Structure formats: C-alpha cells, structure tokens
Structure 1
Amino acid sequence: MKNKLLIIGASGHGKVVADIALGMGNWDTVAFLDDNPAVTSSLGLEVIGSSEDIESLINDHDFFVGIGDNIIRKKVYEKLENLGASIPVLVHPSAIVGREVTIESGTVLMAGAIVNCSTRIGRGCIVNTGATVDHDNSIGDYVHVSPGVHLAGTVSVGDESWIGLGSKIKNNLSITSKVTVGAGGVVIENLTHSGVYVGIPVRRI
C-alpha cells in the first residue's frame, strides 16, 4: 500500500469513490486521472493527468477505478493489474462487514452497505449505497449491486452482472454472468441465460 491514491474517472461514480477514500483516511493525498481534458478538478481534488499517465505513476500510487460501467471498469482494472498496480479495497466507514467475508481488490462498499458473514465478493465490484448482501453469497468479478438492492442468503451472481436499483433476489438462487436485472426487479428463480430481465417477477426480454 502506498500513501497516495489515484482514482481513474472523475465523474459521478469517481466522486463517490473519492469521498469514501477520504473518509477512510488511509492516504496522504487523493487525486484523479481523467481522459476529459476539460476536467481539471472534482470534489475539490485535482485531476493530475489521464489514463496515458498510469505507467509513469505506477510506482508511487495506489490506483482505484472509479468508473460505473462494468465493461469499462474491467478493461481499466485489467490494464492496472497487468502493470502490477497496487489496487486497494474501499469500504465506507458506515458499511457493515460480517465475519469470514472475502473482498477482492478494486471493490468498493458504499455508504450503508451491509455484507453478512461467509460471503465472497470478487474483483472490481460495486456494492452501492444501502445495498444488502446476506450470508453465504458469492459475487463474481466486475458486478454492480445498485443502491437499495437486497440479496438474500446463499445467492450466486456471475461476473459482469448488473443488479438494478432496488431489486430483490430470493435466497438459494444462482444468476449467471452478464445478466442485467432492471430497477425494482424481483428474482425468484435461477437466471441461467445472460441478458436483460425486468418485472415482478423478472422475465427475460
């Protein structure tokens, strides 16, 4: 772990990530990299360069991908990983994490998130504001669990899935990779095919 943190992406999600990092107090400085040259600061923090500057800064900084889109976040994360970057886990001070929880690098738990015991969360995930992930869940890599989502016990969510705002997933279910559950969706059966699911209960469209 370094004493300086760079967040890639200075837009909305990046700002929330920066706010969490500042609240954790683990770094002497927090700044951004962003590919929009018109953006020079965000949340009162300086934008010191673009993604082209990652390699020259790799030895002196921790890096975190502050990009909400799962596919883009994965691409940038893998670039950092291949360069040997130090990538932390960010946990908001108000988040609750149970015993025997494993959280992989590049994942952020936002304000009010709850992750209960014996759960694994993969790389580069977002567990957003007020989301709850109950016991014995398995969350794959680059998953976005949106604000207000509730996952019951023993739920499995595959890589690169996006669980939409306020969705609910019944216990003992499996969701395959690259699934999008629309806002407010209720999942009561296994989702075995990638795609977009909406409704109460959800159906594939």
Structure 2
Amino acid sequence: MPLRRPLIVIGVGGHGRVLMDIVRVRPDFRLAAVVDDRFTEPELRGGLLYGPISTVPSLLLDEPDAELVIGIGDNRIRRQIAERLGLADEQYAALVHPGAYVSSDAQLGAGAVVMPGAVIGPGAVVGAHAIVNSGAVVEHDAVVGDFAHVSPNATLAGGAVVEEGAHVGSGAVLIPGVRLGRWSVLGAGGTAIRDLPDGITAVGVPAVALAR
C-alpha cells in the first residue's frame, strides 16, 4: 500500500473542519497537523499537533514532504495567509472529496478544494486556493479564479468566468459565458445573465448591483 501523504490543514473553523473530514476519507492523505492563530502555543490533542500558523516552517522541517491546504472560507483572509507563508505552489495540495466528479480534462490549481457532490466539467479551470463547495457545478470550459468561492449548489454554466476572489452565493447561477468580476459577490439565489464588474455585490433574478 502506498504511503499516505502528510497534509497540514490551516484553520480550525467550519471550513477547516470540513477539510479535515475530507482528509479522513482520502486513503492517500493523513492529517499531520492543524494550525490556526487561535492557538498561541503548540499542543497535542489525541496525538495530533495543533499550533499557530507560525509553526508551519518547523513542521515542514520535520516533514519536508508535507503539503498544506488553507481551510478558511473568507477569500481575502485565505489570500493573506498564502501571501504570509510565501510558499511555492508545489507545497499546496489540491484536495478533492471522493464524492466529487472532476473531469480528467479539468485543471485544479494549488490549494484548490472541491467538496462532496461537486461537478467540474471538461476544460474547466479552478484556480489556486479556490473553493468549489458541496453540490456546486462548474460546467465545461468555465473558470473559477484564484481565491474565489463557488458556494453550495451554485452553477457556472459552460464558459462562465468567476474572477479572482469573487464569491458566488448558494444556489446562484451564471449563464453561459457570463463573467463575475474580481472580488465581486453574486448573492444567494441570484442569476447573472450579463457580465458583472469588479468589486460589486449583485442580487436577484436577473442579478443587479446593489447601490453603494
């Protein structure tokens, strides 16, 4: 039996706990440690090391083959942590639940996470540290940018684009070829039928930007 790859999960909140569950059902990974700045000093719990994010360099010295995944749901904080650590892309694992479908023709970036029941179609691209949450669909040739988040049961139709840091709310839909701009939000249940610009929040069917 091949050796299980050590994995360090960053974050002990809700999203981090979901990633720990994925690790537990993946036969090719073992949970090596959990880090979060809510811990001020390293401590052992049930044989597993918990500690602050500052312990990552020493953990990697102890286990140089370890990979990491950032279990933080907030897109901006996820980016801040990646920038703070300054690690090469190769140090991050793309973590896919066994109950998800990912086409052999799709691309997953460093640290990307695909939750149970999600579907990633042919030619789709999921960027670095992006989240495709439970039951979400990223259809053929669609793009999820770095640090973006596609929430549960949301749908990106063929060729739709969610740019860097954008957030697609639960049950929201982008029709084919539509683009959601950088760090924008498409609210839960909304339907984007035309491109939406950077830095806005849009809601409704069809989705329109909220007044600032």
Q: Same fold (TM over 0.5)?
A: yes
Three-state SS of the structure 2 residue aligned to 1:79 is helix
Aligned residue type for 2:148:
V
Three-state SS of the structure 1 residue aligned to 2:91 is coil
Residues 20 and 31, structure 2, Cα contact 8 Å, conserved in 1: no
Residues 32 and 49, structure 2, Cα contact 8 Å, conserved in 1: no
Aligned pair 1:19/2:21, yes or no? yes
Aligned pair 1:157/2:162, yes or no? yes
1:10-48 deviations in Å (ceiling 9; x for gaps)? 111001011111211223444311221399789x78352
1:145 maps to 150
1:72 maps to 77
Residues 21 and 30, structure 1, Cα contact 8 Å, conserved in 2: no
- Residues 102 and 45 of structure 1: CA distance in aligned 2, closer, same or farther (over 3 Å): farther
Would you say how many aligned residue pairs link Structure 1 and Structure 2?
Answer: 203
The runs of 5 or more residues in structure 2 that have no matched partner are none
Aligned pair 1:106/2:108, yes or no? no
Q: 1:37 aligns with which of 29, 36, 39?
A: 39
1:119 maps to 124
Three-state SS of the structure 1 residue aligned to 2:201 is strand
The runs of 5 or more residues in structure 1 that have no matched partner are none
- Once residues 46 and 53 of structure 1 are traced to their aligned partners in structure 2, the CA distance between those partners, rounded to angstroms, is 14
- Residues 53 and 180 of structure 1: CA distance in aligned 2, closer, same or farther (over 3 Å): same
Three-state SS of the structure 2 residue aligned to 1:32 is strand
1:185 maps to 190
RMSD: 2.2
Identity over aligned residues, as a percent?
33
Of stretches 185-194 and 12-21 in structure 1, the one that deviates more from structure 2 is 185-194
Residues 30 and 45, structure 1, Cα contact 8 Å, conserved in 2: no
- Once residues 186 and 47 of structure 2 are traced to their aligned partners in structure 1, the CA distance between those partners, rounded to angstroms, is 34
